Amino acid sequence: MKLRINGQDHELDVAPGMPLLWVLRDKLRLTGTKYGCGIAQCGACTVQIDGQARRSCVTPAEAVEGSDIRTIEGLEGAAAEAVQAAWLALDVPQCGYCQSGQIMSAVALLEQQDSPSDQEIEGAMAGNLCRCNCYVRIRQAVRDAAQAKGEA
Ligand code: FES
Ligand code: FES
């Protein structure tokens, strides 16, 4: 199987049905993408597939052959920079476990929409749970990043 991840092609020997998350973490050691629930309920495993936030724990690797796969290790561009800056400025993370997934969802949103409404932010981020309950800072950081990107 050939997967394009963070701009690089990888030839991989992958068992049929293996979730993308396992390929990323166990075969490629891209451990920034986290395993939380394994059943598409927490968002810790969020990556971008052709620019869309997707749950890698329930995405079979063979389903994304030929797609552009992006993980937290490969984030770049104006939206990613704005999100990283806002996250740092607000000191968003607590334990950090959910944060890779939160950031992947936030960047996907801001790459598609320049000034999302609070409702649109809520809709885009609702599938990313945070057991440390950092939701107020996360939502504010997305708003700040959208504003900063708009002003850049
Ligand atoms: S690990 Fe994929 S959504 Fe929880
Ligand atoms: S910062 Fe701990 S789970 Fe979100």
- Picking from 52, 45, 49, 147, the residue whose alpha carbon sits closest to that of residue 90 is 147
Beta-bridged to residue 60, according to DSSP, are: 19
How many whole angstroms separate alpha carbon 152 and alpha carbon 150?
A: 6
Instruction: Give the pLDDT score at 94.
Output: 97
Q: In this structure, which amino acid lies at residue 73? A: E
How many whole angstroms separate alpha carbon 15 and alpha carbon 83?
A: 35
Ligand 1 contacts CB of residue 98 (under 6 A): no
Ligand 1 contacts CB of residue 45 (under 6 A): yes
**Predicted confidence (pLDDT) per residue in 48-90, tens digit:** 999 999 999 999 999 999 999 999 999 999 999 999 999 999 9
Cβ count within 10 A of residue 92: 23
Instruction: Give the pLDDT score at 150.
Output: 85
**Predicted confidence (pLDDT) per residue in 1-35, tens digit:** 999 999 999 999 999 999 999 999 999 999 999 99
Q: What is the mean pLDDT of residues 129-142?
A: 98
pTM above 0.75, yes or no: yes
Please tell me the residue having the least CA distance from ligand 1 atom 3.
40
- Picking from 97, 105, 95, 93, the residue whose alpha carbon sits closest to that of residue 46 is 105
How many Å lie between the centroid of ligand 1 and the Cα of residue 35?
6
How many Å lie between the centroid of ligand 2 and the Cα of residue 132?
4
- Is 39's pLDDT higher than 90? yes
How many whole angstroms separate alpha carbon 115 and alpha carbon 131?
A: 27
User: Which phi and psi angles does 134 have, rounded to 5°?
Assistant: -90, 25
Which of 20, 24, 39 is the pocket-test mutation for ligand 1 (most atoms within 8 Å of CB)?
39
How many whole angstroms separate alpha carbon 125 and alpha carbon 23?
A: 25
How many Å lie between the centroid of ligand 2 and the Cα of residue 144?
19
